[in-house]
Copies of this chain bind each other. A is one copy, B any other.
Amino acid sequence: MENFEFYTPTKIYFGRDTHKKVGEIIAGYGFHKILLHYGGGSIHRSGLYNAIVTSLREHDIAWVELGGVSPNPKLSLAKQGMELCRAENVEFILAAGGGSVLDSAKCIADGAANPDVETWEFFEKKREPQGALPVGAILTLAASGSEMSASCVITNEEGWFKRGFNSPYHRPLFSILNPELTFTVSPFQTGCGIVDIMMHTMERYFTLSENVDLTDHLAEGLLKSVIAAGKRAIDNPRDYEARATLMWAGSLSHNDLTGAGRQVFMGVHQMEHELSGMYDFVAHGAGLSVLFPAWAKFQYPYATQRFCQFAVRVWNLEMDYEHPEETAKAGIAATEAFFASLGMPVRLRELGIGAEKLEEMAEKCTFFGKRILPDYKPLGKAEIMEIYRLALG
């Protein structure tokens, strides 16, 4: 087990009707003026918007609004938010939506509190923020884990770079998790979320670190629960217990619990960021669903026993002690079949993507040859190209 720090200060309010307390919760922190940040029209259609502003009014909290966050949230909108926060002396940002809205809110929070710095430099890891506005969330999508995580991923339209960075200031002050708010999430978006949750766990699971039995078991348990609940949530979108399992698993999958004491690479995420950064129509979860099987087929010969453990403990497959590579492959196949059963794509061609831009994506992913991603077999441009090609189908 490696040395680690663990810090998850976000207070969670989980369960039915919890979103109705948002005004009371914010007032408890002493904030009087907030930015209400959201995406498209769904929070109006669902009634969430009305519930929020009713609660804010009841607790004398003034607000300004910024909607319009898109999937793969954009730097340009976040910059509008930063200006709004400064002009209106906003003290706190409430993100009402999924991971995109949360990440956009975190980016606004970074920029608003660091006005003399070009915010993108944080994402290029040239600087670190010296504080941020506090952020809180009402989550409407179980997927990104951003509601408890230190991460923030933003797309810069100038060059279509999708980059993320971690900061302790990105941990929300609180997150309100009401599974009922995810009843209306479409089967496709539900599938994307399930893949994202599983990948946050699996990218921590496939590690080079040894003696990580405890976090292995936690990760395996989380994955088994998500696999069972995922099927049920797709079959019956209003299955509260399935939605609740996905929602809580989403938070635990990315709050560092399953990564404590391990080297974490997130290589599939890195490669996916180039994919959905290049092709804006690609949902993050769909990109992960395509790239994990390709990554796994490329890497399993270099970590066969770990892939066997995954196959046996997560997918309940029998170990083939004479041919462990067969067990490893069966675990990968089971994962791919599960993703497909959720309606997720598992090949680039299903997304209408061919080989045209694979080289450019591999270039960007290696920072134009300046970095090699650590992995079982480390990933330079040639290895990433091979994985992208394996994903073509």
Contacts and interface: CB of A to CB of B under 8 A. Distances in A.
Contacts of A7: 11-12
Given A1-B244, A12-B5, A217 B213 contact: no
A211 interface: yes
Contacts of A216: 221
Interface stretch (A34-42, A74-82, A222-230): A222-230
B8 A14 contact: no
A211 B244 contact: yes
A8 B8 contact: yes
Interface residues of A, number: 38
A374 interface: no
6 contacts: A3-B16, A5-B11, A5-B12, A6-B14, A9-B11, A217-B221
Nearest to A256: B12
A185 interface: no
A317 interface: no
Contacts of A241: 1, 211
Contact of A213 (B9, B12, B225): B225
A13 interface: yes
A282 interface: no
A224 B217 contact: yes
A54 B249 CA distance: 42
A8 B11 CA distance: 7
A324 interface: no
Contacts of A84: none
Contacts of A217: 220-222, 224-225
A207 to B, nearest CB: 15
A214 B222 contact: yes
Contacts of A12: 4-7
A356 interface: no
Given A1-B15, A5-B11, A211-B245, 20 more contacts: A1-B245, A1-B248, A3-B16, A3-B18, A6-B11, A6-B12, A6-B14, A9-B11, A14-B261, A211-B244, A213-B229, A214-B225, A214-B245, A214-B249, A216-B221, A217-B220, A217-B222, A218-B218, A248-B260, A252-B257
